[in-house]
Structure 1
Amino acid sequence: MKIIFATHNPGKLKEIRAILSDLGIAVIGAEEAGVDQEPLENGATFAENALLKARFVLERAKEKAWVMADDSGLCIHALNDAPGVFSSRWAGEDADAEALVPHTLEELKDVPAEKRTAWFETTVALISPEGQEWTFNGKVDGTIAFTPKGEPRPKLPYDTIFIPRNFSKTFAEMTDEEKNSLSHRGEAFRKLKYFVRKNVDLFSK
């Protein structure tokens, strides 16, 4: 069985292949499926954006297959839950990923440690070749560090400043296995895994 993961982000693709590795599912990225464009992410929620991305790839893939997509974001209480769905564009429409962390830390420069609480959230959308849709949500609470720590994974810059609750190191300082076991994305995709296992007949058609 094959699932297209509607992403052009190699860091995300690596994470999801690791999380789903025991299902015996081949996970390919959007480019491998023949889709080199990306949709306009104008949804108001993570679920809306995840569904937008999955539908976009389903309509354009070179062969019909199951498609999954995720939308994730960092939400900071002291910034009225920003950046949220704008996490990838937080530093400006033309800014690159490297600008996101400095911009976030600048926004938080006068915020003390006890008020730097935040959460990461992911919604995963799954669409069948016939167009049936499901969503799965994951969330992890934590705090924002004062300085970046660790080596960021490709296109996942916020990992260097997010410290999950009950831990003293950032996501970027963790191994892939550590991060996947407690991350928002790991939780959402584990829910998807459970769905696949419980509905194996759907995937064998």
Structure 2
Amino acid sequence: MKTVVIASNNAHKAQEIAEALDFPGWEFRTLRQMGIESDPAEDAETFLGNARIKAYAAHEASGGKAVLADDSGLEVDALDGAPGVFSARYAGEDADDARNNAKLLEALADVPDDRRTARFVCTLVFVDEDGTETIAKGTIEGRIAHEERGGGGFGYDPLFLPDVFADGRTLAEASSQEKNSVSHRGNALRALREALKK
């Protein structure tokens, strides 16, 4: 059995990753499930930089096990790509989803529909036991709504209107299965699976 440490304590994320990669003989465990303490400062200016920081810190802390790390966030064109790498702490270091969403709506208050384009970005870094690095990226294009809708998902999902949904739903109004089939993380995981199969 090959154990892959997910450089996160998010059990929902771990399940999504396990379902997407699903290699025979592989198991995916969070840092907490492995009893590993790893919380490096994510101070890079790119998603790739932050994913690398998390991956190599967890690789070292686990004694050289295979590790998968991701960094993801929202890029809004009218805000020059913000919140970007600061997506989780857009409204401050101790911000929650509600405060981040409120700040985003405030920042876009006077921006018309045709200029509210945005995308979710996910960058994955997989480091194998021998230190081999594999990188994959996924995005989903869309627009920012004028108000939150839907009770599913998390983060900015209630404000994000994916282009692939012709009926104008937000990501938070989609089932988790439907979201995973189109999301930035789902797209990145599918790309990573193809890269690792080679």
TM-score, with normalisation over the residues of structure 1?
Answer: 0.89
Q: Letter of the aligned partner of 1:15 in structure 2? A: E
| CA shift in 2, pair 1:23/1:74, >3 Å | farther
Report SS of the residue matched to 2:98.
helix
Q: Cα deviations across residues 16-52 of structure 1 (Å, max 9, x unaligned)?
A: 2222236552111111122234111011111111010
What is the match of residue 9 of structure 1? Answer: 10
Deviation at 1:64, TM superposition (A): 3.4
Partners of 1:17 and 1:109 lie apart in 2 by 39
| CA shift in 2, pair 1:24/1:170, >3 Å | farther
Q: How do 1:46-57 and structure 2 match up within 5 A?
A: 46-57=47-58
Deviation at 1:14, TM superposition (A): 2.7
CA contact (8 A) 1:34 1:60 kept: no
CA contact (8 A) 1:15 1:176 kept: no
Superposition RMSD in Å: 1.5
Partners of 2:195 and 2:38 lie apart in 1 by 29
Partners of 1:178 and 1:90 lie apart in 2 by 27
Q: Letter of the aligned partner of 2:194 in structure 1? A: Y
What is the match of residue 109 of structure 2? Answer: 109
Q: Does 1:195 align with 2:195?
A: yes
Q: Letter of the aligned partner of 2:86 in structure 1? A: F
Partners of 1:173 and 1:18 lie apart in 2 by 21
CA contact (8 A) 2:157 2:170 kept: yes
Report SS of the residue matched to 1:31.
helix
CA contact (8 A) 2:55 2:127 kept: yes
What is the match of residue 122 of structure 1? Answer: 122
Q: How do 1:1-205 and structure 2 match up within 5 A?
A: 1-21=2-22, 23=24, 25-61=26-62, 63-153=63-153, 156-167=154-165, 168-198=168-198
Deviation at 1:130, TM superposition (A): 2.1
Q: Letter of the aligned partner of 1:59 in structure 2? A: E
| CA shift in 2, pair 1:141/1:24, >3 Å | farther
Among the aligned pairs, what percent are the same residue?
A: 39
Report SS of the residue matched to 2:88.
helix
CA contact (8 A) 1:101 1:158 kept: yes
Deviates more, 1:36-45 or 1:117-126: 36-45
Report SS of the residue matched to 2:34.
coil
CA contact (8 A) 2:121 2:184 kept: yes
Q: Cα deviations across residues 126-165 of structure 1 (Å, max 9, x unaligned)?
A: 1011222121111111001111111143xx3211111111
Report SS of the residue matched to 1:7.
coil
Report SS of the residue matched to 2:190.
helix
What is the match of residue 203 of structure 1? Answer: none
CA contact (8 A) 2:37 2:61 kept: no
Gaps of 5+ in 1: 199-205
Report SS of the residue matched to 1:157.
coil
Report SS of the residue matched to 2:32.
coil
Gaps of 5+ in 2: none
